[in-house]
Amino acid sequence: MADINGTEAAARVADVLLLFTDGPESLGVSAIARQLGLSKAVVHRILRTLTDRGLLITDPVSRGYRLGPASAALGARALRESTLRSAAMPVLRELQRATGETTTISARVPDGRVYLDQVESAQEIKMTVEVGRRFPLHAASSSTCILAFLPPHEQEAVLTGELGTLTSRTVTDVDALRARLAEVRAVGYAHSIGERQSGAASVAAPVFGFDGTAIGAISVCGPADRVDDAARERFVPLLCEAADRISRALGWRGGLPTQGDQESA
């Protein structure tokens, strides 16, 4: 029983900390308790512990809590030691020069994906991304090209879960998403317009680990009026070649996984 209670307590602490990866910068006790279904007393004890260790700090303006210096140190080390980011960055720099637009690398995480880094466009008007923020797997090109190459049971967990909206163009219809994932599996890339950020467009391709599992995605993104149909058509072969180079650097043998590969993953 002690082990079960200890595991449950650790899970609650982790859940509280993870709320800060995709929510507002500052969260209060009531908001955290409501989102996680915990009592305010339990949340308050967890927040006090995290604050004592520098993982959170109190926000003097909102009187809530926000990520602290110890969390920043953990994040910096995670980025520094990420093999996915290390393999991707030289390739992304080349891809940015070839396309003229911002290029990004995302990693799959529990319940979504996060941007690990970006190489910004040199153009005056450009798109940038929120590094470290968690985004759902049903919205926009980087997310859907990861989702398309996950095992079927993991896809179903996403498709039958809560499908929230990031913008008015976020696709939340399950049948439409299923059709989209089938298309992404067939062609090997995904594109989107205004699904994550209004006025932005992107095209993305999955990055595979040594076992053929989609562990992340790279994208080319920019203003929708510049990343139009013609631009995306030009970017696709460059993007897919770049994604293949990164996947091979991580041990993938090459080629898109089959449905059988996904089912056995």
From 74, 103, 134, the end of a domain falls on 74
Q: Are residues 196 and 222 in the same domain?
A: yes
Identify whether residues 158 and 193 lie together within a single domain.
Answer: yes
Mean pLDDT of 140-156: 93
Taking residues 188-216, what's their average pLDDT? Answer: 91
Can you list the alpha helix ranges (DSSP code H) found in the chain? 2-19, 29-36, 40-52, 69-80, 83-99, 141-147, 152-159, 174-187, 229-249, 259-264
The total number of structural domains that make up the chain: 2
Q: Is 103 a residue whose pLDDT tops 80?
A: yes
pLDDT value at residue 264 = 47
pLDDT tens for each residue of 112-133:
898 999 999 988 888 888 888 8
Q: Distance (Å, rounded) from C-alpha 88 to C-alpha 120?
A: 14
pLDDT in tens, 154-195: 999 999 988 988 899 999 999 999 999 999 999 999 999 989
Look at residue 111 and tell me whether its pLDDT is greater than 90.
no
Model confidence, pTM: 0.78
Domain final residue, candidates 58, 74, 90: 74
The residue from 33, 55, 74 where one domain ends is 74
Residue with tokens 């020069």: 97
Span 47-62, average pLDDT: 88
Q: Residues 69, 91: one domain?
A: no
pLDDT at residue 95 in the model: 97
Do strands 200-208 and 190-193 pair parallel, antiparallel, or not at all (unpaired)? antiparallel
For 164, the domain range is 82-264
Tell whether 249 and 226 lie within a shared domain.
yes
Q: Are residues 70 and 88 in the same domain?
A: no
Find the helix or strand (DSSP H, E) in which 124 lies: none
Task: Provide the CATH number for the domain around residue 18.
Answer: 1.10.10.10
